[in-house]
Amino acid sequence: MGDYNYPKLHELQGSKVTIYLTPLNQLSDHFYARAKHAIDQITHLVDGYLYTPRGREDHSIYTGYMGLALTHFLIYKKTKNAPSFEIAKKLTDIAITRLSGELVSFLTGDAGPLALGTVLYSLDGNLDRSSELRLWLLQLGQNASTDISCTLIDGWAGYLYALLFVNKHVHDTIPVDIIRKTVTRILMIGVTAAIRKRSSVPLFYEWKGKSYFGPLHGLCGILYMVLCSNVLEETEMYNIVRPTLDYLIDSRSFRGNIPATTYSESDILVQWCHGIPGFVQLFIKASEVVDPSYISYAMEAADVVWNVGLLTKGYTLCHGVAGNAYSFLALFRKTGDRKHLIRATGFIEWCLSYPRFERQEPDRPYSLLKGYTGLLYFFTDVKDVSTTSFPGYEV
Ligand SMILES: [Zn+2]
């Protein structure tokens, strides 16, 4: 972990906090103006890349140009900037002509462009096209192969996110029985695998031969999406979900982090994709739908993220400082406790140093989850800290 110079908690409290935050717990005009400056610079950088042949190869939200489409959708939502709406729609239209017909997740599959397209055309008043894309999204789930994983990155949790994304932006347009069917499928796969593996935990999932804990490839992301579905029956909640949540809590290391996989001996990674940061959102949701006491685990997880501090991998959402800031923002939204917003502010301040402390160039530098577009998303999102959400994860 890096030993960078960034505002410490005590420097963000007292009279100095007014440099960063308003009394109403939003970023100060001065602070946001700096974020806006960064937004303008990164927009220029990313837009240039899009017009290269390589920029148009990957249509995923995770690493491709659809990540920029989702970012422009966010810019439109937060600022009502009409050109951003048109850019999002244009990129989504291109992606929809290149779908595989097989990949079901929001982040890396067809469900991302189809879900965003459903929402964009609905907002645009073209309800026929919106309905057409929504049906296409539903058919994608019906026709999918039986050997798809349950993960957020490329499996059924990622498909469930796409359904919930549509319902969030176009109210309750996805029938509840489709959501229920997807949740049943996820639970059935996990319960069947747990029996086969003679696991003491009711749910067991693997991704490419390994059993991961984190949001992107593992149990945290799958459980979080299932809890967000709001269709769980009480017996499932208490006989399947709760013991699995408690297993996750018991799997934490002495310092409160969680290893990348069940086989890992080290807990060195403390980033959204692997490690405890993404569990903050899971434990918050568990406190809302399972038992209020789970909020204490969200607090403990956020303390670990803060104590570990800045990540040497840099600025990204997937495994960088911006992604970890979302843990504090989630806890601030849940509790209203300014401490969490102040912690997020420390990370935002550091992210504004981009690219000064970039120790290693990201392997997909223009992407949403692994590159600069993620910073564009992050800086745009914090314009209103009461409505932030980690893209492709928080519903
Ligand atoms: Zn990552």
Q: Pick out the residues of the known binding site for Zn(2+).
A: 273, 318-319
pLDDT digits (tens, 9 = 90+) for 9-49: 566 667 778 889 999 999 999 999 999 999 999 988 888 77
**Ligand 1 centre from 315 Cα, in Å?**
11
Residues counted in the chain: 395
How remote is the CA of residue 93 from the centroid of ligand 1, in Å? 28
For residue 167, the model assigns a pLDDT of 97
Binding residues: 273, 318-319
Non-local CB neighbours of 268 within 8 Å, separated by 6+ positions: none
pLDDT of residue 73: 98
pLDDT digits (tens, 9 = 90+) for 133-155: 999 999 999 999 989 999 999 99
256-279 pLDDT per residue, tens: 999 999 988 889 999 999 999 999
How many beta carbons lie within 10 A of that of residue 184, not counting itself?
13
Cis preceding linkage at 355, omega within 30: yes
User: CB count, 10 Å around CB of 6?
Assistant: 19
Number of Cβ within a 10 Å radius of residue 32: 19
CA of 336 to the centre of ligand 1 (A): 28
Q: Is the model's pLDDT at 72 over the cut of 70?
A: yes
Percent of the chain with pLDDT over 90: 83
Mean predicted confidence (pLDDT) in 293-297 = 98
Q: How far is the CA of 247 from the centre of ligand 1 (A)?
A: 23
Is residue 49 a contact partner of residue 87, using CB atoms and an 8 Å limit? no
Band the pLDDT of 216: cuts 50, 70, 90: very high
User: Residue 11 has what pLDDT?
Assistant: 65
Q: What is the pLDDT of residue 6?
A: 57
CA of 273 to the centre of ligand 1 (A): 5
Cβ-contact 385, 329 below 8 angstroms: yes
CA 317 to ligand 1 centroid distance, Å: 8
Structural tokens at position 56:
């148009």
- Nearest Cα neighbor of 121 from 111, 112, 131 is 131
Distance from the alpha carbon of residue 47 to the mean position of ligand 1, in angstroms: 23
Q: Specify burial of residue 351 (Cβ count, 10 A radius: 0-12, 13-18, 19+).
A: buried
Among 78-87, 141-150, 239-248, 355-364, the range scoring the smallest mean pLDDT is 355-364
Mean pLDDT of the chain: 93
Quick check: 297 and 279 in contact, CB under 8 A? yes
CB burial string 151-172: b at 16+ within 10 A, e below: bbbbbbbbbbbbbbbbbebbee
pLDDT value, residue 9? 58
pLDDT of res. 1: 40
Q: Quote the pLDDT of residue 5.
A: 56
- The reported pLDDT for the residue numbered 57 is 84
Compute the distance from residue 152 Cα to the ligand 1 centre, in Å: 13
Percentage of residues in the chain with pLDDT exceeding 70?
Answer: 96
272 alpha carbon – ligand 1 mean position (Å): 7
The Å distance, Cα 216 to ligand 1 centre, comes to 8
Q: Ligand 1 center to residue 319 CA distance, Å?
A: 4
pTM of the model: 0.96
Structure tokens at 91: 């990129």
Distance 36 CA to ligand 1 centre (A): 25
Cα of 318 vs centre of ligand 1, distance in Å, is 4
Residue 193 CA, ligand 1 centroid: distance in Å: 26
Written in H, E and C, the secondary structure of the chain is CCCCCCCCHHHHCHHHHHHCECCCCCECHHHHHHHHHHHHHHHHHHHHHHCCCHHHCCCCCCCCCHHHHHHHHHHHHHHCCHHHHHHHHHHHHHHHCCCCCCCCCCCCCCHHHHHHHHHHHHHCCCHHHHHHHHHHHHHHHHHCCCCCCCCCCCCHHHHHHHHHHHHHHCCCCCCHHHHHHHHHHHHHHHHHHHHHCCCCCCCCCCECCECECCCCCCHHHHHHHHHHCCCCCHHHHHHHHHHHHHHHHHCCCCCCCCCCECCCCCCCCCCCCCCCCCHHHHHHHHHHHCCHHHHHHHHHHHHHHHHHCCCCCCCCCCCCHHHHHHHHHHHHHHHCCHHHHHHHHHHHHHHCCCCCCCCCCCCCCCCCCCCHHHHHHHHHHCCCCCCCCCCCCCC
